[in-house]
Amino acid sequence: MGTGRERYLPVPRRDSRPREVYTLWPPGQLTNQEMIMRIQRVGLAATLLLGVATAAWSQEGDWGYEGDVGPENWASLDPAYAVCDSGKNQSPVDIDVRTNVVDAKLPAIHFNYTMLTPQRIINTGLDVEVEMRSGGEIELDGKTFALKRFVFHGPSETMINGESFPMEIEFIHEDDQGEVAIVSMLLSPGAPHPTVDKLFMSLPPEAGLEAELPSWVLQDLEKEWDEDKYFRYNGSLTTPPCSEGVSWIVLRTPVTVSKPQVDALAAVLGHPNNRPVQPINARRVMK
């Protein structure tokens, strides 16, 4: 059996060329007001650089979110992406609580996120993602899935009762057999999200840049999980090759994100990075 890494990573990745390391702030030396000002400056810098940086970077990959390389054309871009169109268990989905959710009395999921050690935050041009060095596990179906990375999407890919959210964070886990489990955290308008605040202090303003992260930026993340309130369904990766057989866990209680945080992500990427919802077909969503 293979490692399953080909299912975990979108291929080919747009950030395949060497990336520059971008340093925005010295860890632990900013006040709250300084953090807010840094976020605003990141958004401004990204806006100024957007025309050149995004255009140049868009030539590096063979899929994207707009135009001829957008989601509706993924399957035709490469034979390896055929399941993006032919698959019957594709993600994301619109979870209709009124008609398609079964109360299966799902057991609580055990989140072990107390020793998270991030490695870096990367602007790939397609998304903003945080790669993990170590730490972060969930227990699911008697298996242990290790957190590999998490990705920011704006607006959300997952919908609830036809409603989209300003942002979604997808936490991508993998077990030792290469099976993938994705935990989705939806973010609704409201107060600033403290972990997003810390991460966006190092948000690289150009595609192809990355920044090293100190371990303390994720120290409060374990407080976010409501372990027994979630939706679960069988789905896929939301980026090519759209591989199926992915266990999706969607947390039922959204957390909040502020408009400046949403604007910072939008300014850096310059485009929405959400795949449209896919047909639910014969699947049922459990809670």
- Domain 5-9+19-286 coded CATH 3.10.200.10: yes
- pLDDT score recorded for residue 61: 56
Query: What local confidence, expressed as pLDDT, does residue 25 receive?
Result: 40
Residue 31 pLDDT greater than 50, yes or no = no
pLDDT of residue 85: 98
Q: What is the pLDDT of residue 219?
A: 78
Segment 265-284 mean pLDDT = 95
Residue 4 in this model has a pLDDT that exceeds 80: no
| pLDDT in the model for residue 202 | 85
Distances (CA, A) of 106 to 130, 227, 249: 29, 10, 11
Confidence of residue 276 (pLDDT cuts 50, 70, 90): very high
Gap between the Cα atoms of 145 and 124, Å rounded:
25
The pLDDT tens digits of the residues spanning 87-109 come to: 999 999 999 999 999 999 999 99
CA angle 21/25/26 to nearest 5° reads 105
Higher pLDDT among residues 48 and 34, named by residue: 34
Least confident of 97-101, 246-250, 273-277: 97-101
Mean pLDDT of 49-64: 48
Is the pLDDT assigned to residue 56 strictly greater than 70? no
Say what percent of the chain tops pLDDT 90: 60
Is residue 177 predicted with pLDDT exceeding 70?
yes
Which range among 41-55, 78-92, 158-172 shows the weakest confidence by mean pLDDT?
41-55
Q: pTM for this one? A: 0.81
Residue type present at position 115: M
Mean pLDDT of 167-187: 96
Q: What is the mean pLDDT of the chain?
A: 82
Q: How far is it, in rounded angstroms, from Cα 43 to Cα 52?
A: 15
Question: Which of 113-117, 136-140, 153-157, 228-232 has the lowest average pLDDT?
Answer: 113-117
Domain borders along the chain are 5-9+19-286
Query: In the prediction, which pLDDT does 22 show?
Result: 41
Render pLDDT for 187-201 as a digit per residue (tens, 0 to 9): 999 999 888 888 888
CB atoms inside a 10 Å sphere around CB 192: 18
Whether residue 79 has pLDDT greater than 80 = yes
The predicted pLDDT at position 45 comes to: 42
